[in-house]
Structure 1
Amino acid sequence: MDKQFMEDVKRGLTSSPKFLLSKYFYDEAGDKLFQQIMALDEYYLTDCEFEIMSTHRAALLEHFVSDCDLFHLVEFGAGDAYKTKALLEYFLAQKVAFEYNPIDISGSVLDQLAEDLAHSLPQLSFAPMNLEYFEAVEAISLKSTCKKVLLFLGSNIGNFTKRETDDFFGRLADILQPGDQLITGFDLKKDPAVILAAYNDSKGVTREFNMNLLRRINRELDADFEVGEFYHHPVYDPDNGAAKSYLVSRRKQQVSIGAIPTTIGFEKDEPIFMEISQKYSLEDIENFAVRTGFRITENFFDKRKYFVNSLWELN
């Protein structure tokens, strides 16, 4: 049993209001569900970012190699590297000297990715890392003095609060070296209906993705959540750009969690906060960079300007 998982579930479900940490969505079943989400028509983020990576790969490479002969391409939360492969294939075709370092907290995802890359890109030099992000960056710095280019794609930064975002970029600034670069995917503010549909798809895959965390708690922590007694409720606030997901109790009920052990009471219509997916203005992005010691080198957009991949360097 994962003791940290148990402690985080206990802390979240005994808090008021209740919450669960979205990083625990990604067990084996959650990984598969998220792959399905990325293929949904409503989930525009994947296509937008793939378009950016494919359209602007030459310009990106020019930035990466402008001041070095060899670099590490370090991807946070690599998943299946679907979007990154557009870069990898192009860089290899251009005979660029680089090593790809995919980082993910899911060992099973990294195993699948390593197998895929070994077959699809046999000439690629890569070293997967099943570590936390900052640990991985520090480990790379210890073994190599070469430049690092960090990729934080998919608007994963949107799962952080604004304070957490400042802390994240600030910590990166502390451990990166002059000349290192960072590309972050930011989902931009847009038509609220487009955003809300991305988290409330017609096939119900996002709902199942959220519900799967209750099933994981049942399985790993000996709980008795009746998953059907909760419903998925996404909301979006166009003023502050926060898209939030909740699971809401359909009735007054109690849930036992044997591994803790404790019993959690729910009132009818009581929510569990599951995840934030923050949306941004260009001014927001500029402010994050300035506050945390970076400067924006260039912003790369998709054709609809739904999404931006922002390239930063340390000041």
Structure 2
Amino acid sequence: MTAPLPHLEQTPARIIDRSFLQDVVAGLRAPQKHLSAKYFYDRRGSDLFEQITRLPEYYPTRTELAILDSYGPEIAAGLPPGAALVEFGSGSTAKVRRLLPHLTDLSTYVPIDVSEEFLRSEAEELGRDFPRLRVEPVAADFTKPVTLPDDLRDAPKVGFFPGSTIGNFEPEIAAALLGSFARTLGAGATLIVGIDLVKDKAVLDAAYDDAAGVTAAFNLNLLARINRELGADFDLDAFAHQAFFDENLGRIEMHLVSRRSQLVTVAGVPFHFASGETIHTENSYKYTVPGFRALARGAGWEHARVWTDPDALFSVHALTASTIRRH
């Protein structure tokens, strides 16, 4: 739990999101300064991430889409008829659109996303493109318990969690999230989840530090957002993007490195940065297929199938909820 921000009532009135402010202050006070990756995605950050997905170095998106295209009929064949498809953190509907043509007897699609306006817009567009499909969006934070619409109580449930988003969580938190999905979906449910695989370090490093500098701009945009929304005075030119694969921990780490000794204020709260000191902004864990199977089993899921691309860069897994753990 983050410590209360002192004198919160004295912060500038234009700062609306006090939880954002409290998270930033708590993160910058930590011995290893850090910021939550969930704050990357303002409008500019979302646009930059879409650019990242099209970069030649960034293999995950195009590889996962190719797997969904190639194995869509097999994935669909393993799902129960009349199911409700529940997508956690739906965002853009680009990936579910690759599956929907194969899910001819799907009863309902339930996209879950925290951004209600974007969620409604995407749901409406999808409904126009698939007029026979019932779409019931749920505005919620998928990392917390989610209540599904009452009219889906008796329908078999299929979860969809693409993009290797689970890699952004520490393994014990990822396991807890998988357990939460099982409780939301119910015993016997299926979960289709995208998992990025361990591979050559050079491939991973390049994917998160591209030659065009788009990922660097994405990382630095977090400081621009803090400046704009929290009254901070970060000099973006005084920080550099850093990304690398830590082979011991099995994860990509992204940092912002202070180029010099400097003082920065956020809503009037001062923070000193030594030259070379970093702000840790994101982790992206990579798994082996057996490693992810073990993680899923510990969270109450049995492994059913896995599909990979020919180069074994990425994987899509089908899991079945075997036990529902209440805590």
Q: Same fold (TM over 0.5)?
A: yes
Aligned residues between the structures: 307
Cα distance change, pair 249–135 in 1 and its aligned pair in 2 (3 A): closer
- The partner residue of 1:44 within 59, 63, 67 is 59
Counterparts of 1:62 and 1:283 in 2: how far apart (Å)?
Answer: 24
- The partner residue of 1:178 within 173, 177, 187 is 187
1:216 matched to 2:228:
no
Q: CA deviation at 1:72?
A: 1.3
- Secondary structure of the residue aligned to 2:138 is coil
Q: Give the stretch that moved more between structures: 103-112 or 237-246.
A: 103-112
Q: Give the stretch that moved more between structures: 228-237 or 138-147.
A: 138-147
Instruction: State whether residues 164 and 193 of structure 2, in contact with CA within 8 Å, keep that contact through their aligned partners in structure 1.
Output: yes
- Secondary structure of the residue aligned to 1:17 is coil
Instruction: State whether residues 129 and 136 of structure 1, in contact with CA within 8 Å, keep that contact through their aligned partners in structure 2.
Output: no
Q: CA deviation at 1:22?
A: 0.2
Which residue of structure 2 lines up, in the alignment, with residue 61 of structure 1? 76
- The partner residue of 1:26 within 38, 41, 57 is 41
Which residue of structure 2 lines up, in the alignment, with residue 245 of structure 1? 254
Which residue of structure 1 lines up, in the alignment, with residue 201 of structure 2? 192
Q: Give the stretch that moved more between structures: 275-284 or 77-86.
A: 77-86
The amino acid of 2:279's aligned partner reads I
Which residue of structure 2 lines up, in the alignment, with residue 131 of structure 1? 140
Counterparts of 1:101 and 1:223 in 2: how far apart (Å)?
Answer: 38
Describe the superposition over 1:287-315 as per-residue Cα deviations: whole angstroms up to 9, x where unpaired.
Answer: 11221111001111112211111111112
Describe the superposition over 1:155-176 as per-residue Cα deviations: whole angstroms up to 9, x where unpaired.
Answer: 1001011111122122333443
Counterparts of 1:97 and 1:85 in 2: how far apart (Å)?
Answer: 13
The amino acid of 2:98's aligned partner reads A
Which residue of structure 2 lines up, in the alignment, with residue 300 of structure 1? 307
Instruction: State whether residues 26 and 106 of structure 1, in contact with CA within 8 Å, keep that contact through their aligned partners in structure 2.
Output: no
The amino acid of 1:72's aligned partner reads A
Percent identical: 36
Gaps of 5+ in 1: none
1:71 matched to 2:83:
yes
Counterparts of 1:158 and 1:254 in 2: how far apart (Å)?
Answer: 33
Cα distance change, pair 53–137 in 1 and its aligned pair in 2 (3 A): farther
Counterparts of 1:63 and 1:143 in 2: how far apart (Å)?
Answer: 20
The amino acid of 1:39's aligned partner reads R
Q: CA deviation at 1:179?
A: 1.9
* TM-score (norm. length: structure 1): 0.92
1:116 matched to 2:128:
no
Q: Give the stretch that moved more between structures: 141-150 or 297-306.
A: 141-150
- The partner residue of 1:231 within 226, 234, 240 is 240
Runs of 4 or more, structure 1, over 6 Å off, are: none
Gaps of 5+ in 2: 1-15, 323-327
1:163 matched to 2:172:
yes
Q: Between Structure 1 and Structure 2, which shows a larger proportion of helix residues?
A: 1
Instruction: State whether residues 182 and 189 of structure 2, in contact with CA within 8 Å, keep that contact through their aligned partners in structure 1.
Output: no
Q: CA deviation at 1:141?
A: 5.9
* TM-score (norm. length: structure 2): 0.89
Q: CA deviation at 1:188?
A: 0.5
Q: CA deviation at 1:111?
A: 4.0
Q: CA deviation at 1:142?
A: 7.2
Counterparts of residues 75-94 of structure 1 (less than 5 Å): 75-91=87-103, 94=104
- Secondary structure of the residue aligned to 2:148 is helix
Q: Give the stretch that moved more between structures: 295-304 or 142-151.
A: 142-151
Counterparts of 1:80 and 1:173 in 2: how far apart (Å)?
Answer: 23
Cα distance change, pair 42–13 in 1 and its aligned pair in 2 (3 A): same
- Secondary structure of the residue aligned to 2:203 is helix
Cα distance change, pair 135–162 in 1 and its aligned pair in 2 (3 A): closer
The amino acid of 2:74's aligned partner reads A
Instruction: State whether residues 145 and 184 of structure 2, in contact with CA within 8 Å, keep that contact through their aligned partners in structure 1.
Output: no
Counterparts of 1:161 and 1:27 in 2: how far apart (Å)?
Answer: 23
CA RMSD, Structure 1 to Structure 2 (Å): 1.8
1:274 matched to 2:281:
yes
Cα distance change, pair 141–244 in 1 and its aligned pair in 2 (3 A): farther
Q: Give the stretch that moved more between structures: 209-218 or 161-170.
A: 161-170
